[in-house]
Amino acid sequence: MDNKLIYMKDIVKYYKMGKSTLTVLDKVSLEIQEGEFVAVLGPSGSGKSTLMNIIGCIDVANSGEFSLVDEDMMKKNEDQLAYIRNRVLGFIFQRFNLLPKYKAIHNVAFPLLLRGYNKEKAYSRASELLEKVGLGDRMDHKPTELSGGQQQRVSIARALVGDPKILLADEPTGALDSKSGGEIMDLFMQLNDEGNTIVLITHDLQIAQKAHRIIRVKDGKIYA
Residues linked to residue 54 through DSSP beta bridges, in sequence order: none
pLDDT on residue 224: 63
Cα dihedral across residues 32, 56, 177, 135: positive or negative:
negative
Q: What is the pLDDT of residue 3?
A: 84
Which sequence spans correspond to the domains of the chain? 4-223
Q: What are residue 66's phi and psi, to 5 degrees?
A: -150, 115
- Is beta strand 71-72 parallel, antiparallel or unpaired with respect to 63-68? antiparallel
Q: What is the largest CA-CA distance in the chain?
A: 56
Q: Could you tell me where the DSSP H helices lie in 59-177?
A: 78-88, 104-114, 119-132, 148-160
pTM of the model: 0.93
pLDDT reported for residue 223: 86
Burial 209-219 (b: 16+ CB within 10 A, else e): ebbeebbbbee
- Return the pLDDT at 1: 45
CATH class of 4-223: alpha beta
What does the alpha-carbon distance between residue 65 and residue 7 come to, in Å, rounded to a whole number? 8
- How much is the pLDDT for 33? 96
pLDDT at 86: 87
CB of 200 within 8 A of CB of 37?
A: yes
How would you write the pLDDT of the chain (224 residues) with one tens digit per residue?
A: 468 999 999 999 999 989 999 999 999 999 999 999 999 999 988 999 999 999 999 999 999 999 999 999 999 999 999 999 988 999 999 889 999 999 999 999 999 999 999 999 999 999 999 999 999 999 999 999 999 999 999 999 999 999 999 999 999 999 899 999 999 999 999 999 999 999 999 999 999 999 999 999 999 999 86
